[in-house]
Structure 1
């Protein structure tokens, strides 16, 4: 065997070893998506033995989490001879869903006709789950499980932008718990935390799907009411006030809330809007608490 042949054999051997030992999943399919080759990582990650996959279509891994349009776009891309890159949700043999960073490359013959597809994918489930966890931490109040102040700020900005672009109205309610300090001082901070949690759950059950509810801080809360003028917002706030007034938490605690209500009027800033509704809340307390004031 001459030196060139030896070098070619060595190169092929190294390529084969690389395919088998890489941590990435590697599939080779024909132009109809029939699997012709998988490396060991595919079996390790998906739970399928090689013989269970070879000869089958790649849809054996479909998770059901993508639309038909998603797969149509994928196939349209690679059948046109272009490379494809996306994050896809697939399913293992035992039904576990996983996220994969997928790249598909068409292989051409000497006539520039597509002969096969090579797909490489990296399991990025841990990264995606961590990103979701961090996103949740950034937007969700850890005590009550509703949105936090940062998320409410963002949502108000979005509502303002929508209002200015599409001339849609929206209103906000700001409320807090009357004499909440008494609850903490009398029953302790654990009881106070329990009241905040149950109140959040109670309000969440009685607002609309489109309403955005969050904890502003301490015992203060904000509800953003899209496509809602101040008259309707007042009715909603009054309904919630009565629900809270007539509810006994854990059979022990009876609380009331005071609320300010205001409608966004362009060109207010977020800060101006919050200041105005806060004035409504202050007036509700000045007038004796357990009431709603529109400003």
Structure 2
């Protein structure tokens, strides 16, 4: 949500996010309060919008929050209230509210020409359950949309709607020759009515779909009278773009197909938003590295690939030495900066397409290295160790150095069908344990 936004647009976008979302003005007045927060808290937006949020949640007036959020209104950077350090930004009204954990990000948002704060809250406790509920709601929504579109097809063919709707419409005869298009069709596709009428919809084909795809569409239309789905088409300019389309067969009183009507909308922006949300769901909000869930998935995928051509498979697990002491000494804000700096070093250490870096949890990071020997993995780990030390981040309470350091465990396994990818984690974790027990700020390797 970068750039300028309107309040109505704010509500529409925020209400469709799978996150709790608030927009605050400089004096912490609530400008937007999305639907998910209404569900979480029981507070309706009509009650809280226009009020100061600290009237409802006094803990947000604490300097732990204000000292980090207020600079944002003067052009400061986004801030993160991690789930490990700030368990609940907005308490919920759930029966087990005290057990729930939230991950909160506050980013700048231009609204009405002024900087505001966009607060995004993710409940990370019930992530699996919420994902399941989300899929259920998505399926239900698709069914509802299909039924709605069946009813709307005939209405949208009415002359007044045909001319004014923002969705593109074209009608063909029984042979598929275009006989009518509306103004939105011209605007979306770039073809004028004169250019389209007399042609077939093949002028819109993108080349991204095979014959089986189109055969499925026609089979659905001829059997059920309707097809609804997403399709990639080509504008007159040559640009390929996604559409949400409904095609309906129009029959006469004897049941014979006389015409076909198609209604479509350009969903380019929706696809961009979905891709951005997918990207964010894979990343750790503080460091920008891949998150634990993505790491687990990629490790399992790479392990399966490695079974086809067994070779050494290595994993580096590193842990910032005495990070809890660092947080206690310098504060959580400096702790977040330290994590971000170390994450950048870790991310710069790998170059190959199959390698992956992730935040494993807390102050732990992992580097996934398929087709890498223990010796080569140790070289990469030593490079990271030196670069972390070279950051020269002061750490006066460390027992091994005056600057921030890290300990490394390098595990190496040759994948076989009688082994699980979890063995690689176990081996690397054991090596990390040995590195810590031998004094930290060092690398230990272990093979299995």
- TM-score normalised to structure 2 length: 0.48
Could you say which residue in structure 1 is the equivalent of 2:345? 202
Structure 1 SS opposite 2:307? helix
Asked if the contact 1:198/1:249 (under 8 Å) is kept, the reply is: no
Shift of 1:168: 4.4
Q: Where in structure 1 are there 5+ consecutive unaligned residues? A: 1-11, 108-114
Residues 131-280 of structure 1 correspond to what in structure 2 (within 5 A)?
Answer: 131-208=274-351, 209-248=353-392, 254-264=403-413, 265-266=415-416, 267-280=418-431
Q: Any idea what the Cα deviations from partners look like across 1:108-144, whole Å, max 9, x if unmatched?
A: xxxxxxx998653244456545543443343211111
User: Aligned-pair distance for 1:29?
Assistant: 7.2
Whole-Å separation in 1 of the counterparts to 2:286 and 2:195: 47
User: In the alignment, is the contact (CA less than 8 A) between 2:229 and 2:246 conserved in 1?
Assistant: yes
In 2, the alpha carbon distance for the partners of 1:13 and 1:154 equals 46
Residue 214 of structure 1 and its aligned partner are, at CA, apart by: 0.5
Structural mapping, 1:36-47, within 5 Å:
37-42=180-185, 46=188
Distance change in 2, residues 1:53/1:207 (3 Å) = farther
Q: What does 1:85-104 align with in structure 2 at a 5 Å threshold?
A: 87-88=230-231, 99-102=242-245
- Residue 77 of structure 1 and its aligned partner are, at CA, apart by 4.3
Q: Please tell me whether the aligned partners of residues 19 and 26 of structure 1 are also in contact (alpha carbons under 8 angstroms).
A: no
Q: Do the aligned partners of 1:175 and 1:259 also contact (CA within 8 Å) in 2?
A: yes
**Offset of 1:148 from its aligned partner?**
0.8
Partner of 1:290: 441
CA distance in 1, matches of 2:391, 2:424: 30
SS in 1 for 2:286: coil
Listed one character per residue, the Cα deviations across residues 70-93 of structure 1 (whole Å, up to 9, x for unaligned) are 26x369947x97779763456889
Q: Is the 8 A contact 2:314 2:370 kept in 1?
A: yes
By relative contact order (CA 8 Å, sep 6+), the higher-ranking structure is 1
Q: Give the TM-score of the pair, scaled to structure 1.
A: 0.69
Q: Which moved more, 1:123-132 or 1:199-208?
A: 123-132
Alpha-carbon distance between aligned partners in 2 of 1:141 and 1:102, rounded to the nearest angstrom: 35
SS in 2 for 1:216: strand
CA drift at 1:96: 10
Q: Residue 19 of structure 1 contacts residue 39 of structure 1 at CA under 8 Å; is this kept in 2?
A: no
Aligned runs of 1:53-68 on 2, under 5 Å?
Answer: 54=196
- Secondary structure of the residue aligned to 1:165 is coil
For 1:145 and 1:192, the matched residues in 2 are separated by: 15
- Distance change (3 Å), C-alpha of 1:216 and 1:52: farther
